[in-house]
């Protein structure tokens, strides 16, 4: 097999490993607030939103040290041990206690920083300038199959408290399968990653990451990254809870949480596969894809505003009887799920691509900064999700999404100018 073929195989294995892990973890995240509402008792008092806020808050802080961990033990072991922490978090729901719930949240936050920094490093060292867009798309599409399979399983398997332990045991096993897949990844040959072979694990000091955080390129991208953090919270935790709280959707409203996740996954897979595989054919750069993502999200936010009651994120276990501005429609709700996934894939695939291109000689700290910004905004969003009505959450998304798209357009112009200058100098 050629060096490029081996590098592509590494990307596929990486994608499958994350697909299995996040089939378990994202499915857990989608249903945990609903599960906790049903489970709260004298022995357990917890909030799924608070847990996710802790995860992303610790995740954000831990990104400062994650590159050093990846440098010391390597990306492969980094992903494996981090994956074990994810599996432990899921397994905690088999017999949940308040102390174990929040302790596991802290540990997953640490593991997430190391996991995603290692992932960015593997993606970068197995890519070249011409393949980074394709590889980002392939990885993202495989990762987002997790939303499809996980929520499909929940839809058919979930039938109440009796099945809770069976569901979380199954999810734990699925997560562990993903952990062990990382051992199949092999170090790329020099031809596959000419820009990084002299130093496959890049400078990892905390100061290096902090310096990168304040460069003009990263500061511009930070607004776009911040938007993906807010949107991650919305589609992975808030929107499913809103659908499940809408009593006007009928007795099966809670089962629609899984269906919504499936439609989000379908949008993510379509966007990741399409824009990744067609990357070489795109003469207009990354901006049109990001613009499509922005328009897609704005349409979704408007329809959600019309279709979902404003108090849905804050509704008690019994749900809400309130109506928004139109008669609540399951079809519109699921269409919005698809649009959320499609738009999210537009933003994330292009961010992975541009960061891999602009910081290809410093990939581990660059992806650590990416996840630092994304996770701190996700934590902030989970915090305000505890008390902000839906329409205010949508307004925040609209404003930050618009500003983030503008900043991405400027970043793309800088990246293209840098590429043209490089090509000119090589003549």
* Range name among 245-254, 300-309, 375-384, 399-408 with the lowest pLDDT average: 245-254
158 and 17 fall within a common domain = yes
Query: pLDDT, tens digit, for every residue of 103-154?
Result: 999 999 999 999 988 998 888 888 887 777 788 778 878 887 887 777 777 6
292 and 151 fall within a common domain = no
Task: Determine, yes or no, domain membership for 288.
Answer: yes
- Comparing C-alpha atoms, which of 414, 411, 386 is closest to residue 48? 386
CATH of the domain at 319: 1.20.1250.20
249 and 175 fall within a common domain = no
* Structure confidence at residue 158 as a pLDDT band (50, 70, 90): low
For the record, the structure tokens of 99 come out as: 């102390």
Residue 189's CB: how many other CB atoms inside 10 A?
A: 14
Task: Determine, yes or no, domain membership for 388.
Answer: yes
| H or E element that contains 67 | helix 66-92
218 and 353 fall within a common domain = yes
Task: Determine, yes or no, domain membership for 305.
Answer: yes
Task: Determine, yes or no, domain membership for 426.
Answer: no
21-45 as b/e: b if 16+ CB within 10 A:
bbbbbbbbbbbbbbbbbebeeeeee
Residue 332's CB: how many other CB atoms inside 10 A?
A: 17
289 and 345 fall within a common domain = yes
- Higher pLDDT among residues 316 and 13, named by residue: 13
CA 306/CA 154 separation, integer angstroms: 27
Task: Determine, yes or no, domain membership for 425.
Answer: no
* Domain endpoint, select from 186, 216, 234: 186
* Domain endpoint, select from 186, 213, 246: 186
Half-sphere exposure of 238 (CA within 13 A, CB side): 36
* Structure confidence at residue 180 as a pLDDT band (50, 70, 90): very high
Task: Determine, yes or no, domain membership for 8.
Answer: yes
For the record, the structure tokens of 260 come out as: 């919504």
The pLDDT assigned to 396 comes to: 95
Q: Report, as an integer, the average pLDDT of 23-35.
A: 76
Query: pLDDT, tens digit, for every residue of 306-327?
Result: 998 888 888 776 677 788 888 8
Angle between helices 330-358 and 256-277 (to 10 degrees): 40
Q: Report, as an integer, the average pLDDT of 31-43.
A: 66
Query: pLDDT, tens digit, for every residue of 63-103?
Result: 878 888 888 888 899 999 999 999 999 998 888 888 888 99
Query: Above pLDDT 70, what percent of the chain?
Result: 84
339 pLDDT more than 90: yes
59 and 149 fall within a common domain = yes
Contact between 242 and 312 under an 8 Å Cβ cutoff? The reply is yes
- State whether the Cα torsion 320-322-325-327 is positive or negative: positive
11 and 95 fall within a common domain = yes
Angle between helices 363-384 and 66-92 (to 10 degrees): 40
Angle at 306 between CA 303 and CA 307, to 5 degrees: 85
Task: Determine, yes or no, domain membership for 322.
Answer: yes
Residue 87 belongs to domain spanning: 1-186
């Amino acid at each position: 097999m050629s060096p490029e073929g081996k590098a592509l195989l590494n990307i596929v294995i990486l994608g499958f490993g994350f697909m299995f892990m996040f089939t378990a973890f994202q499915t857990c995240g989608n249903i945990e607030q609903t599960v906790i509402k049903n489970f709260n008792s004298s022995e357990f008092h917890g909030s799924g939103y608070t847990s996710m806020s802790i995860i992303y808050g610790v995740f954000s802080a831990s990104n400062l040290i994650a590159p050093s961990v990846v440098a010391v033990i390597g990306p492969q072991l980094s992903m494996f041990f981090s994956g074990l922490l994810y599996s432990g978090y899921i397994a905690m729901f088999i017999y949940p206690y308040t102390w174990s719930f929040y302790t596991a949240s802290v540990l997953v936050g640490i593991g997430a920083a190391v996991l995603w920094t290692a992932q960015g490093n593997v993606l970068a060292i197995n890519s070249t300038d011409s393949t980074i867009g394709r590889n980002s798309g392939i990885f993202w599409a495989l990762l987002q199959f997790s939303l499809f399979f996980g929520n499909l399983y929940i839809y058919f398997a979930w039938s109440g408290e009796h099945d809770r332990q069976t569901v979380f045991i199954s999810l734990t096993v699925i997560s562990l399968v993903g952990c062990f897949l990382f051992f199949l990844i092999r170090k790329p040959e020099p031809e596959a990653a000419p820009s990084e072979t002299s130093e496959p694990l890049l400078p990892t000091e905390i100061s290096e990451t902090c310096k990168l955080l304040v460069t003009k390129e990263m500061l511009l991208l930070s607004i776009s990254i911040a938007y993906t953090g807010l949107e991650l919270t919305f589609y992975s935790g808030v929107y499913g809870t809103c659908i499940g709280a809408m009593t006007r959707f009928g007795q099966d409203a809670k089962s629609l949480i899984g269906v919504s996740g499936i439609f989000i996954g379908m949008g993510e897979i379509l966007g990741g596969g399409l824009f990744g595989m067609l990357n070489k054919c795109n003469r207009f750069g990354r901006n049109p894809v990001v613009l499509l993502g922005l328009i897609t999200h704005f349409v979704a936010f408007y329809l959600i505003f019309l279709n979902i009651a404003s108090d849905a994120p804050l509704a008690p276990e019994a749900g809400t009887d309130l109506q928004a501005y139109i008669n609540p429609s399951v079809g519109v709700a699921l269409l919005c799920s698809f649009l959320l996934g499609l738009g999210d894939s537009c933003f994330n695939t292009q961010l992975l691509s541009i960061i891999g291109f602009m910081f290809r000689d410093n990939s581990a700290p660059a992806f650590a900064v990416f996840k630092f910004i994304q996770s701190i905004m996700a934590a902030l969003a989970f915090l305000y999700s505890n008390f902000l009505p839906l329409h205010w959450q949508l307004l925040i998304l609209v404003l930050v999404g618009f500003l983030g798209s503008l900043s991405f357009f400027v970043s793309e112009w800088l990246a293209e100018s840098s590429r043209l200058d490089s090509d000119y100098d090589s003549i």
